Amino acid sequence: MRIRVLPFLAVLFAGMAASAVPSLVPPLRAAELITAGGIRFQCSPSLLAQAAQEMDALLDELAIPADLLSKSSSASGTQLSYRLRTPEHDTSTLDLVDRREYALAREAISLPAVRGMRVVNTVSRKEILLALLQHGRLTEMTGGSCSVAALREMIGIRQNVVAWAEHLEWIWPNGGPARWNTKYWKEGTPVSTQPLADAFLDMFLQQQRYTIGCYTATKVVYVHALLDYHRRVNPDAQKLRLLESRLLADGEPLVDVEPAGMWSFEDDFDPAGLSRPGKLLRLHADVAMRNFVPGDWVYLLNTDPVSRRKTGYEGSNAIYLGGGRFDDYYNDHQHAYAYEEKLDEVYQWRHGVFNRRRDAQKRQVLSAPAMARLSESPARGGLVFGFRVVPGDVDLTLPGSTRLPQQLAIGDREN
C-alpha cells in the first residue's frame, strides 16, 4: 500500500459524496471494451508448426476441447493465434469456473511444510490457460518465448504464485513497524549467512513471526514463488542463479521487484524512472476491467481523500487466485475475497470500516449499479486500474504487452 495522493484524483475527490460512488463519466458501451485477446505466437513458420503440434498436446492434456477455441494464422505464416470461442464483448474471467462447458476443478499439488510436504488444492493449470485464452487481453509469445514450453512455464509459475498465496496468516502492522524473523532478516534485508531461498521460505513456514503490509506481502509471494519454481517445482540451476543474481544485484531482493511504471500515477513519480524494468515482474497494459488471470497482481486504489491518509489504507495490493477470488494475506476473510467483496473492502474504508468484524455496523450497503461502478478505472469513478503486473521470464522477456499504461500518468484514458 505505497500510494500517495494523485494529481488527477483532485477532480475526482472534489466531486465525491461521502457515501456515494462518484459518477463522472457514463459507463462504457460493450463496443468500447477491449476485444483483442487470447494467445499469439509470433516467430518463424518452422517454429510455429512445432508450436501448433505442442499446443494440441497441451490442450489435450488439460482436457480443453478444440471446439471451445478459435485458431487462426497470418498470411505471412509468422503468427498463430488461439482464443476462446466466446463473444468479443465477453472479456470477464471471474466466472470461468461457473461455466459448465469448461468443467473446471481445483488441482492438487504439493508444497513444502515445516515437516516434509503437504498437499493443497489450488487453481488448475486448465483455468489459467482458459483465462489467458479469453478476450480482454492479448498474450504474445515472441522471440525466445515463442514456444509452448515457455507457455507451460508461465502457467506453472502462475499456479505456484497462487498456491503460496492462498493460505496466509501474516500479521497486519496497522500503521506500526514491520517485524521479521531475525534469523533470516534484518529489517527487510536478508542476512548474508542464510541462503536467499531459505529466507523467503521461512516467511511461509513461520508466518506469525512476520508483521508486514500488503505491498511487501505481495512482493514476497512473487519472489518466493519464482525461487521455489526454479528450485523445486521445475528445477533449473541456471535460471535460479540468474534469478538470485538479479534479486541481489543491489543487496535488496524486495526492492524494485515490480517495474517503476506501475507507480507512474503518483504525484512525486520521477519520469526518469519510467523505463526501469522490474527485477521479476512486468506490466501488462490494455486489460479489460474484469479480466484477471490467476497469478495477476492487481492494485485497487482508495479514492477517498480522507481515509487514504491513514497509513496502510492508501490502496490494496491483491493477487488473483482464480475462481473469482482474491488473496487475503492476514486471514481476515477466511483466506480469500470474492471480487465484489474486495471492491467493497476498499470502498468501505471511507466509512471507517477498517476491521470487517469490529466495524461491521459502519458499513454502507452499495446498490448493484454502485458496485458495478467500483469495477471501473479511477478515472471513471472506480477503484481498479486497467493494467496487471505479471511474472516475467528470468531473462527479462515477457510474453505479453510491454507498453507502459499511459492512462496511469494522465488519468483520462479508459481501456
Asked if 337 contacts 325 with a C-beta cutoff of 8 angstroms, the reply is yes
The stretches of 74-195 forming alpha helices (DSSP H) are 125-133, 148-165
- Give residue 194's identity as a one-letter amino acid code: Q
Nine cell digits for residue 287: 486489460
Instruction: Determine, yes or no, domain membership for 122.
Output: yes
pLDDT of residue 311: 85
Instruction: Determine, yes or no, domain membership for 2.
Output: no
Residue among 171, 264, 214 nearest 1 (CA): 214
Task: Please report where in the chains the cell 458496485 appears, as a residue.
Answer: 371
Please count the residues of the chain: 415
Residue among 264, 257, 294, 295 nearest 405 (CA): 264
Instruction: Determine, yes or no, domain membership for 303.
Output: yes
Q: Domains in the chain: how many in total?
A: 1
Asked if 395 contacts 361 with a C-beta cutoff of 8 angstroms, the reply is no
* 28: Cα separation from own chain's centroid: 23
pLDDT of residue 334: 87
pLDDT of residue 15: 36
Instruction: Determine, yes or no, domain membership for 59.
Output: yes
pLDDT of residue 267: 75
pLDDT of residue 264: 87
pLDDT of residue 75: 87
Instruction: Determine, yes or no, domain membership for 4.
Output: no
Task: Please report where in the chains the cell 494529481 appears, as a residue.
Answer: 7
Instruction: Determine, yes or no, domain membership for 311.
Output: yes
As a whole number of angstroms, the distance between CA 9 and CA 350 comes to: 15
Residue 23's domain comprises: 9-410
**pTM higher than the cut 0.85:** yes
pLDDT of residue 6: 39
As a whole number of angstroms, the distance between CA 321 and CA 312 comes to: 22
Segments in the chain below pLDDT 70: 1-35, 393-415
Instruction: Determine, yes or no, domain membership for 3.
Output: no
In degrees and rounded to multiples of 5, residue 403 shows phi and psi of -70, 140
Do the strands 38-42 and 79-84 form a parallel or antiparallel pair, or are they unpaired?
antiparallel
Instruction: Determine, yes or no, domain membership for 1.
Output: no
As a whole number of angstroms, the distance between CA 33 and CA 156 comes to: 29
